[in-house]
Amino acid sequence: MTQQEQEYSEFLLQKQYHIPYELFKSAFTAFQKKFVYPKNYIIITVLLLVCCIYAYFLVIGSDSDKPVYCIVILGCLLLSGFQWYNPRKIKRNLMLAVREIENDQYKLTIYPEYLEIGTILPLEDNNLNNKNSENIDNLFDDIPEENFSGTRIYYNKGLHVHEYQEFFMIYQTKTMFYVVPKSVFSEQELEIMRVHFSQRLNKNFS
């Protein structure tokens, strides 16, 4: 095994966890506040400003132009309402889906050069067709391997880790993020994570 392969194979920390419903709700709210709401508020402000301008034109303008002004004002109000409502609709629908996977188990492994995050999938139920295979496994005391589906995330300029009071938020794009509860780590482990992320990510860890 080369030195690089040995470095990649030795992890710093590894934890299994699940994400409680309320914790994921808090995390998604924090994600929206960071990446969704600021842009939406700017768009809403511009649309309302346009409404005010056309409302002024509606008062001082000619009668023949007033229907056009009314249409513009109504359109801006509808778009503003959509910008306000859509993030809340997305959050509500997502949280309904989260209810279905609230008890799913996840695993985070922190390597020197990358993170690996994924879901621990439940082992398939044994059926009659697998009975003979199961008996053979039991004969040789084989333990079923963990059914794990994970993603490897290398440290780069696009990777960000943000620490909140109850969780870490990990993301590479502004459309997808991972939540890691802090409650599963000891204080010593949390400090190891902070030092490691600070060294590897610099200002991308906060």
Give pLDDT tens digits for 57-78.
Answer: 888 877 778 888 888 889 999 9
Vertex 174: Cα angle to 110 and 106 (nearest 5): 35
Each of the 206 residues of the chain gets a pLDDT tens digit; together they read 444 444 445 888 888 888 888 999 998 999 888 888 999 999 999 999 999 988 888 888 777 788 888 888 899 999 999 999 998 998 888 888 888 877 888 898 999 899 998 888 776 544 434 444 454 344 444 544 557 667 888 998 888 999 999 999 988 877 788 899 999 999 999 999 999 989 998 888 98
Task: Provide the percentage of residues in the chain whose pLDDT is more than 90.
Answer: 29
The pLDDT assigned to 9 comes to 57
φ, ψ (nearest 5 deg) of residue 99:
-55, -35
Measured distance CA(179)–CA(86) in Å, rounded:
23
Name the pTM for this structure.
Answer: 0.73
Decide: 106 and 118 in contact? Cβ < 8 Å: yes
The pLDDT assigned to 128 comes to 39
| Cβ count near 85 (within 10 Å) | 10
Burial per residue of 160-197, b for 16 or more beta-carbon CB atoms within 10 angstroms, e otherwise: bbbbeeebbbbbbeeeebbbbbbeebeeeeeeebeebb
CA Rg value for the chain? 25
Measured distance CA(49)–CA(65) in Å, rounded:
19
The pLDDT assigned to 3 comes to 45
